[in-house]
Amino acid sequence: MNDDAEPGKGRLETLTDGVFAIAMTILVFGLHIQQFAGVVSAPQLTAALLKQWPGLAAFALSFVVLGQFWVSMHGQFRLIRRADHWLIWLNITYLLFISLVPFTADHLGRYGAIGPVAVLYGLNLLALSVLQLAMWLWATRQCHLVAPDLPESVIKRGRRLGLLSAGGYAVAVVMGLVAPGVSMAIFALMSILSITRLDHRLVARRQRDGATSAASD
């Protein structure tokens, strides 16, 4: 099958947006409402709501994480001009792990920051980071899916952002084995870096430092 018979970039983006939307919506199904028999007092209801905080925290974190990955994917697709067979299948595999986030988030909400749950959640996000990086590396390989004149600095920035993301989640997985609370903090930190674009600033500074060193040599 030739590339002309493959779904176009527009259809791939539509599928991606749809899977993200569904995954972000069904996250709320992980929240469970306690059932009461008879009249409920205010203290009982307050206590029941307070018990929901792990689930609410997992919902909020996972919703932000999915938003963060969607924004990142949107940025990649702005620079990718077309899709080929392998980019499509890398993207479909990526969407498989997007669809898995509600499952791992539900475990996080039910059982809290314990080792196996932190590792499971971290592996889910690590897989997303690695696959997103793989898509960028494939698309920019000899610039065959991006504009031929796309600056090398932009390609390198995307590569380094992907490595930063994958590296952060890899550390979170390892920490999940020994200090699950630290692992949770790393998940939150990765989202903060993405939302505030501090990750872009860190990568840009690294690129400037590298260019300065090369010029001085």
CA angle 164, 165, 170 (to 5 degrees): 100
> Which residue stretches of the chain have pLDDT < 50?
1
pTM for the full predicted model: 0.88
User: Given this model, what pLDDT does residue 37 score?
Assistant: 67
Q: How do residues 143-192 score in pLDDT, each as one tens digit? A: 889 999 999 999 999 999 999 999 999 999 999 999 999 999 999 999 99
Contact 30, 111 (CB under 8 A): no
Q: Residue 98 is encoded by which pair of tokens? A: 């997007």
User: Given this model, what pLDDT does residue 215 score?
Assistant: 63
Per-domain residue ranges of the chain: 3-28+40-216
- Virtual CA dihedral for 146, 152, 157, 162, nearest 10 degrees? 50
One DSSP character per residue, the chain reads --GGGSPPHHHHHHHHHHHHHHHHHHGGGG--PPP-SS---HHHHHHHHHTTHHHHHHHHHHHHHHHHHHHHHHHHHHHB----HHHHHHHHHHHHHHHHHHHHHHHHHHH-S-HHHHHHHHHHHHHHHHHHHHHHHHHHGGGSSB-TT--HHHHHHHHHHHHHHHHHHHHHHHHHHH-HHHHHHHHHHHHHHHHTTHHHHHHHHHHHHHHHHHHH-
